[in-house]
Structure 1
């Protein structure tokens, strides 16, 4: 439905939208936690090369790990690998970096055991990290832009997603609908603290209400960086 796509765009995707303003504020906060970002090597778990090409600060080097294949042409400071970082063998083969960055990925990796493996990969890959995830108890579920959606029974969510007009991608049948809703498990504070016990847990707020959680191990000494892989 064109009107629904236009409404979602105005709320989430378009320049000047609420989503765009939140993304800008998030970049500013990231720069505050990592003032030496331009000199860091970064491994991005679940992100895209396009996001980094649009970023206001360009790190020295970025390696993107995602299940989706990257674009064919990448600038020389960005590399990419199609892989599942919850596989310990994959994480062990990625080398080491200065900073792990992950934006809205940990809620998609699978169940609790996969989230534990994801957190273990974060710890292994770099001394610094920034892991952001939407907060389970924010009133509006962000993937489907639906109030209270995450609190409905699974079957009700699967039925609703087939009709709800503000979803990012339309589902074609009941199986796709169930896959879509099972594939998102939002996290609360207790689980994030459990997964990242030695990290600072920051809150990203909208009108005073927590919208996202960010597990951060910030840069204390911008001059001390880890060795980067070739």
Structure 2
């Protein structure tokens, strides 16, 4: 088995360990918000595919991210181009039942932008669900590399460039460094600071906290 097939089996395939963790998280979302089928949701930084895979779907989903929208969308989804840390006024003025984000806040670029991101979450809806990988889980989730997040930047750059379980090994040093600098995993203290009125839930794997979910009910 080559290394890409190994990553597929461990993390990315529909029956992988990673997929099972994502399915469990989706069930938690539905259990936490049983009224989800009647809710309007703004998804900051997400993708339509997540909502297609849920066992139930919200009444309406508005995905806001920096990517081009899919060619075809179901009638219950809209997609807008926008920065979640500096929302266009047309989006910032709207209100939803639930603000949702999955593995985004660690990518937005530093404390100041994380504050702006959290402000968007709080302003857009009375309820929220914000998930992020936990800094002190021993395996860095983006590269599936043990302890990578604790290394100096130059060492992380080399792991990002050459580690075989990365999505795209063989990057140039400049490309690898750029990606490393745009990922900053968070801990519990940071999440409590950004979401002080939320419940902070720990997603466990092997008895250890793998990710954090800050959620607030209406």
The range that moved more, 185-194 or 83-92, is 83-92
How high is the TM-score relative to the length of structure 1?
0.91
Aligned partners of 1:4 and 1:180: how far apart in 2? 21
**Higher alpha-carbon deviation: 88-97 or 67-76:** 88-97
The aligned residue for residue 224 of structure 1 is none
**Residue 10 to residue 94, structure 1, CA distance change in 2 (3 Å):** farther
Q: Given that residues 83 and 90 in structure 1 are in contact (C-alpha distance below 8 angstroms), is that contact kept between their aligned partners in structure 2?
A: no
Aligned to 2:212: 213
Of the structure 1 ranges 116-125 and 51-60, higher mean CA displacement relative to structure 2 is found in 51-60
Does structure 1 conserve the Cα–Cα contact (< 8 Å) formed by 2:198 and 2:215?
yes
Q: 1:90 to 1:149 in 2, by over 3 A?
A: farther
TM-score (norm 2): 0.96
Flag as ranges the 4+ runs of structure 1 deviating above 2 A. 88-94, 169-172
Report SS of the residue matched to 2:2.
helix
Distance 2:194 2:9 in 1: 34
Contact 1:91 1:121 in 2 (8 A): no
In structure 2, distance between residues paired with 1:127 and 1:158: 39
Corresponding position of 2:60: 61
> Structure 2 unaligned runs (5+)?
none
Q: How many residues align?
A: 218
Q: Secondary structure at the match of 1:68?
A: coil
- C-alpha contact (below 8 Å) 1:88/1:117 kept by paired residues: no
Pair 1:184 & 2:164 matched: no
Q: How far off its partner does 1:15 sit?
A: 2.0
- Aligned CA-pair RMSD: 1.4
Deviates more, 1:111-120 or 1:18-27: 18-27
* 5+ residue gaps, structure 1: 220-230
What's the CA shift for 1:17? Answer: 1.1
